[in-house]
Structure 1
Amino acid sequence: MTPRLSVARTLDHCTVLGPGSRAVVWVQGCPLRCTGCVAAETLPFDGGTARDIPELADWLAGLDGIEGVTFSGGEPFSQAGALAALLDAVRERRPDFGAMAYSGFRHEALRRGGPDHHALLERLDLLVDGPYIAARHGSLRWRGSDNQRLIPLSDRYRRVLAEPDTTAGIELSVNADTSLSWAGVPPVPGFRQGLEEQLAARGFVLRTEARRGR
């Protein structure tokens, strides 16, 4: 039976969660509880929406103007087997499709994991590893605290990683239902709370499509 993914959110195009323009899949469920997590709604395993791998593969393969996908969450390696199957399905149609993932676990720990962990690692081009530590928050590219690492797992993004390390920023967008969504790694601590308070004061509803800072 083809595995299904428990998905918190998806985004068609994003330029602040990895190299170039890419899709993002936020998975639902995380065994970690990093203090200061900016996407706490993705932590419970009993939330999210069950999505079929073929459906998600059709969506990703059919997107124009993207060079790959970023898996965030939640904890992507809690659903590693399903994400590996998703990449295989997409690459049957788009062999050069890039893949990046976040994990609150260190790369060394993931390598000691089971077959599903190994399968996903083998298919990724770039890994951001390690838990978010609020006391070490930094204005960094694609990560929230300076203990986290950008680990190339292929040669695909090595040139990009050689560029100066500066924050990728935050993207805001107004949706068809007039709610506001955002994506990215906050360059300053307390970003989400401050943004929500300012928007609420102006009558906006915030719909989070964000990376938890880890």
Structure 2
Amino acid sequence: MRIFLSRLHFPVTTLGHGSRVGIWFQGCSLRCPGCISVDTWAHGQGETTLEEVLRTISPWLQAADGVTISGGEPFEQAEALGALLQSLRQEIGAGKDILLYSGQPWEKIAPLVSGWTGLVDVVIGDPFIRSATQTLVWRGSDNQRLHMLSPLGQERYAKWQQAVRETLPKTFDVCFEGDTLWMAGIPEPGSLKQIQRALAEAGFASTISDTDSREGSSIPVFA
């Protein structure tokens, strides 16, 4: 099956329980103002196949505590998303959780998710709102809701539903890929400005804004 992805990464330690495989979908028409993941908006890029994705991540899944799927907007590829979830669950069994991010309101995606019983453990939904407070663990803005859909999801995430970010270390997963700095995590307001300053001190220029926030992003940096 054809699927459009932005990137695959392991380990991701900032978007869910433990050490995780991260899968970012490519393509998003929501385009929330302030989204740091502008590189995932364009449609028609990053074409691959479900089989190739599974070949790539299969060695990672053995060591991972779970899988986090974000984007982009995964529900804009609903058929491919459902097939991916089915394959992931068959691969990892019931002991590793699958966390799914969406910018869509829960009320819109719930009918589809209800047909994926046993495939998704946690959904974090609703659009990122730049003007909203930004205090909750694993959420870009506090309007976003965390839904636990399985016993494993309840076990691992119930204590985090209203937890503030100060309860977790303030870290990013960071990787340089050529002339691009890639980060996964939820930035604190103003933290990207600090990163921009550090890049400048190291001799790089960047295009990021300290008002941006989202779960992950590729940020062009220039020597």
TM-score for both structures, normalised by structure 1: 0.82
How far did residue 83 of structure 1 move?
A: 1.9
How many residues are treated as equivalent by the alignment? 205
Q: Is the 8 A contact 1:54 1:89 kept in 2?
A: no
Q: How far apart, in 2, do the equivalents of 1:90 and 1:172 lie?
A: 23
Q: How far apart, in 1, do the equivalents of 2:192 and 2:100 lie?
A: 22
The alignment partner of 1:141 has SS state of coil
How far did residue 62 of structure 1 move?
A: 1.8
Unaligned runs of at least 5 residues, structure 1: none
Unaligned runs of at least 5 residues, structure 2: 209-213, 218-223
Q: Is the 8 A contact 1:34 1:131 kept in 2?
A: yes
Provide the residue aligned with 1:37 in structure 2. 35
Query: What RMSD over aligned residues (CA atoms) do the two structures have, in Å?
Result: 2.8
Identity of aligned pairs, percent?
32
More displaced 10-residue stretch of structure 1: 86-95 or 49-58: 86-95
- What CA deviation, in whole Å up to 9, does each residue of 1:40-99 have, x standing for no partner? 1111113x3112101112233321420221111100111122122122223333222421
How far did residue 159 of structure 1 move?
A: 2.8
Indicate which of 136, 142, 152 corresponds to 2:138: 142
Relative to 1, partners in 2 of residues 1:121 and 1:92: Cα closer, same or farther, differing over 3 Å?
closer
| Runs of 4+ with deviation above 6 angstroms | 205-208
Q: How far apart, in 2, do the equivalents of 1:118 and 1:204 lie?
A: 46
Relative to 1, partners in 2 of residues 1:79 and 1:90: Cα closer, same or farther, differing over 3 Å?
same
Q: Is the 8 A contact 1:29 1:43 kept in 2?
A: yes
Q: How far apart, in 2, do the equivalents of 1:201 and 1:149 lie?
A: 38
Q: How far apart, in 1, do the equivalents of 2:5 and 2:181 lie?
A: 19
How far did residue 186 of structure 1 move?
A: 1.1
Q: How far apart, in 2, do the equivalents of 1:119 and 1:207 lie?
A: 41
